Each structure stands twice: as structure tokens, then as C-alpha cells.
Structure 1
């Protein structure tokens, strides 16, 4: 091949790269111009952006770069609703889930975690369901214990989580379903220092307020919100080095069992607005332009070569990702770690991203 031919090919290659980059920008610009909702843009991405892990924006207004997926099965967890493709998260979130699942088995005797939604591959608004879970720092954990067998794909799609509420009583925990182990599981989740909040149904919060006799220092993190009667929602803080991540205000001091909880059991949360707005309220954060500017790059960034390259493993061994929480856990749960983490069987670590 002659020098002129090679030069021509290099020129064509450079032009092709420029064309691809330009097309990506045009795609993002077109998405803003034609009114395509951001949820449709992010909801159709099947793999993350190949980039350094970063959460951009707020929990309900943002996106995720460099997300990793928790394996569908681990020694102490199974992921549910696989068809949704929402088992992605920031490595710090995935690391916490793995450590939490191990601690739940070893410290309090919980059979293992059934994992609900975490985030989409690139975060962002979802096609259905959540307003949050957009930056890879939220995760739903079922209150149904993991069975001692591997569930089939179809079972993971069809099995329903168990509500903790009585069917014939408003906001009342069913004593035939709720157990002290459920309380220990939620309080264990709240005990980790990187956990910002744990959302539960108001009835569950009330049950904890009335019955929890252990250390109540983390009880204030457990926040009441409607729904969340068949699962609880774990939210972690923005990682320390996450410059583009917008954190949430710290929870108020105290255990959260006073007037703020009583409000949920009044008619006020159900009351209709006294005065209708003069103009229709525009949906918030619906378009790509409403998200942080970095989300355009996240949306159009290159994916890893395969899902396997983006699947996490052995995350709880990473001290940098998950600070040791033994002191806080022990103070609340009062159980000793009988088995060192180094001896726990774990899936093979994910291959490094190229």
C-alpha cells in the first residue's frame, strides 16, 4: 500500500470519526428540539457509558456515567425483574448492596436479599415507576426473604413481593406477616454511615418507633413515605469525590417518631389543593435539556464491549468504595461478625474496562 493510499485512508478515518461525533451531538440536539421525553432516551439504552463512574445531578434529576451491574445472582442475593434492566448503579451503591446482603445473612440471619430496581444503565428518568433512582445511588430491597434456591427467569418476573400491611386496615402492619427480623433488616440498612435515607411505608416506620429497643441513633434515617410496604428503598450519599452529584439535606435530629410521623396518619396528605393553579403545571425534568449538561454526553457516550465487562463483583472487599461499618452495625444490631469477609465465597470479579 502506497503512502498516498495510507494518507487517504487516514484522512477518511478522521472524517468518519468527526462525522460520528457530529452525529452524536446532532442526535442530542434533535432530542431537545423534537420534544422527545428524556425517559424515552435513557430508557432505551441497554448498556452504560464506558467512562469513569460519576453521578450527575440529584436523585430525581440526573444521570449516571460508568455504571456497573450487580450480577443477577450472588452468594447472598438474587436480582428480580430482570427484563427491566435496572440492576445498574454507581460502584459505591453496588458495593454497599453486596456488603449489606452479606451482613444480613451473617449478622442477623436473614436468608438473603431479593433486589428490586437500582437504576438504568445510564441512569436518568425511567419509562415507568420511579421519580428517583436516576443517578445510581438508590436501590429497592424486597421485604420478602430470598428462597434457598435459584429462582428461574420467569419466577423473577411473576413472583409478587409481600406487603407488610393488613388488607382491611389503613396503614396498619399485619402482625401475621411482620417479624422482628424485618425490623433488624431495615435497621441494619440504616446503620451504614454512607446510607443517607431508608424509605419505608409510614406504618412500618410507626412499627419501628413503637417496638425497636436497640440503639435508635439510626432510626431517624428511616423515613416514612406512601407505598414501600412490600420493599424498602435505600439511598446513599453522593461519593466524596463526586463533584457533579447534588446531595440531599441531612435528616433532622432525633428518631423521627414525633409530629412528622403523625402527619402521615392524618387526612392532610390526601387533601386536594385548595386552589387550582392558574396555568397547567409543566412536568418537571421531562426533557434532556432539564437534566445536567453532562447527561447529554452520558446519553451519547460509547458503551462497553459487552454486559460482562460492566458487571460488578466482590464489591464489598473494596475499602475505598465502602468504608467499614462494623462499629455502627454492631452498635445497632449487637451481633459479632463470625466470619471474616476474606473467607466469604463471591462471584468472579468483573474484567477491567478496556
Structure 2
């Protein structure tokens, strides 16, 4: 994560994480309504999320990543087909199944590995990025440059889900009610196999999971354990895991983050913070922190203005679910 984010007070981080985790489970709608046009889209004080949230297709530009995972955008994004041999995209109404071609290719490989190595019919794919990246109206702070993807820890059913199911269905909770370990009623060795397959991908830089899931992975992993280095505890992520890939080769405008520290991150000291009382049972502050102002275009890389104003690509994601109308 961007080190600057850790300057936010603990309670604010917890609140944001809980909100993002809840958002991941929020239901969508089969009939999403277009956002109303902005009265003055050129107002420099307007939140960038209002502008990027209204773009329904990628920019007709060469593929390029601009900025950092939590403050940037992407041009020439590719859409993950909403149905594949071993994957299905969830919450289609959010229109967040776009990303860099390297991320799209990785998700497809992981889907095949989940089928082959874990015996899952496939994976359910949550949020990736918006068509042009950028800040989102709801949910994530990251996912802005097409290099992040959420994978549900619920295996894909052995059938094609309806549009309504994709909007209404919830992922399965993997963490015990006391937050100290995984729930043995839902967690299985196949979950380890899928996360391990993702972490072993050379382009993957981080995988974020709930601390209880990290604890289970540390306990259950056998043989080669080097991949555990990439798996990091993070607030939320009870129902899904978050894949983040490195800046693509030659992407000079992409801002990367440091490589993970050496070591598995499995010692008692490594995990102590995440199971401390302050994290598991945070006390509300006496004075609620002021909400952070939303990012404006001035806070994003200058190239994002060009990305935002570019014409729409002619690209259209294929494989619509049964019953969906054009």
C-alpha cells in the first residue's frame, strides 16, 4: 500500500476498510440507471470520481497506466469477458471489469489454475477497474490504474449465473465470528491452492487477505512457502482476496510500490498487530475525524485529463449472461 495511507488515524482506516468490505457485498441492480449529467464538469473543485464514474467505455488511446494504484487512471483498458470457461464476472451494474491487458490475462490464467489445481469449476471475479480507471464513486481507494482485481473466495457454481444472481448473490464469509481465525465450516484446502496459484504469478506484487486468512495460510502451507511473502494482511477482505500486479514493463508513467519485505510474514510478531484489541475492537474517537476531501483532477497525473476527454473506444465486452438485453 502507499505509505502515505498509513498516516491516516487508525479509526479512520478501520472505518474505511469496513465500508469497503461492506461495499464488496452490497447488491447491485439488474437495471442500472445512467448518472445524471454534471452541471459544470469543468469545475476544478468537482470530485474526480464524479467524472470517471460517468465514463462507460475506455478511452480510444494506446494502453498506458498513469500514476499510482490509489491516484491515477488508465487509457486503452481491456474488458474481461463477463463469461469464460472458468470464470464469471459479478456485479455487472458497477461496470468495473476493466483493466490492463496483463491483469486480464492473469485473471484468465488464475481461473484455469483454480479449475485444474483446486477442482473449482472456476472463479467469481469482483471489482477490477472502471473503463478509464480513476477514483470510484463508492468503495475502493485503489483499483484506479487497472492493476488490481478482487477474486471472491466463493467458488464459481458449475453453471452460468443469471444477471439477477450476479447482482444479488453474496460471497461466503471465511472468517470466524471472533475474528481470530478462519471459519472451518467454510474454509477449505482448496482456498489455499487458489491463493497460492495467484501469489506464484511472477507479475503479482501483493495479495491482500484478512489477517485470519493469512494466519491459516501460514499454518497450512507445505513445501515451498516463498509465495507467502506476497500475501499481506489488510483490513476487510473476509470474503475475497485482492490481487495487485506490478507496473507493466516499460510503463514509465506507472508508479510502483516497494517489493515485499523479506520473510514469510508468519511469525507471532508479524501478526500481533492485526489481532490486537485496538484493531479487533476499536474504540470510537472522542472527536470523529473529518472525512478526507475527495480527489480532484488536480491531484491525479496530468495525463488523466487527456484520458478523461478522449473519445470512447469501440470495444464491447462479449459473452452476455442469459436473459440480459442489449
Instruction: Summarize deviations over 1:227-272 as a string: whole Å, max 9, x none.
Output: 1111000000000111110001111000011223221001344656
Q: Which has the higher helix share?
A: 1
User: By how many angstroms is 1:222 displaced?
Assistant: 0.4
Instruction: Kindly indicate whether the alpha-carbon contact (under 8 Å) linking 1:32 and 1:288 is maintained by their aligned counterparts in 2.
Output: no
User: How far has the Cα of 1:100 moved from its partner?
Assistant: 1.1
Matched, 1:289 2:294: no
Counterpart of 2:216 in 1: which secondary structure?
helix
Distance between the aligned counterparts of 2:286 and 2:264, measured in 1? 34
Q: Deviations along 1:167-225, whole A, 9 cap, x unmatched?
A: 3x223211111100001111111001100001000000011111211311010100001
What is the CA deviation profile of residues 103-162 of structure 1, one whole-angstrom value per residue up to 9, with x for unaligned ones?
Answer: 221233222010000000000000101000000000000000111110000000000000
Aligned partner of 2:77 in structure 1 is 67
Q: Post-superposition shift, 1:164?
A: 0.4
Question: Residues 147-296 of structure 1: matches in 2 within 5 Å?
Answer: 147-167=157-177, 169-258=178-267, 259-269=269-279, 282-283=292-293, 286-296=295-305
Say how many residue pairs are matched.
Answer: 280
- Residue matched to 1:145: 155
Give yes or no for the alignment of 1:115 onto 2:130. Answer: no
Show the 5 A alignment for 1:52-63: 52-63=62-73
Structure 2 segments unaligned to the other structure (5+ residues):
1-39, 320-326
TM-score, L = length of structure 2: 0.81
* CA RMSD in angstroms, aligned pairs only: 2.3
Cα separation, 1, equivalents of 2:258 and 2:315: 37
Equivalent positions of 1:262-341 (< 5 A) are 262-269=272-279, 282-283=292-293, 286-308=295-317
Residues 60-99 of structure 1, C-alpha deviations (whole Å, 9 max, x = no match): 0000100010111000100000000000000010011011
For residues 280 and 148 of structure 1, what CA distance do their matches in structure 2 show? Answer: 46
- State which structure, 1 or 2, has the greater radius of gyration over its C-alpha atoms: 1
Instruction: Kindly indicate whether the alpha-carbon contact (under 8 Å) linking 1:32 and 1:287 is maintained by their aligned counterparts in 2.
Output: no
The answer to whether the 8 A contact 1:122-1:299 is kept is yes
Give me the TM-score of the superposition, normalised by structure 1. Answer: 0.74
Partner Cα distance (1:274, 1:162) in 2: 31
Q: Please identify runs of 4+ aligned residues in structure 1 that moved more than 4 A.
A: 270-277, 279-282
Q: Deviations over 1:305-335 (max 9, x none)?
A: 2425xx69xxxxxxxxxxxxxxxxxxxxxxx
Once residues 315 and 227 of structure 2 are traced to their aligned partners in structure 1, the CA distance between those partners, rounded to angstroms, is 40
Q: Distance in 1 between matches of 2:101 and 2:158?
A: 27
* Maintained 8 Å contact 2:117/2:193: no
Partner residue, 1:20: none
**Alignment gaps of 5+ in structure 1:** 1-29, 313-354
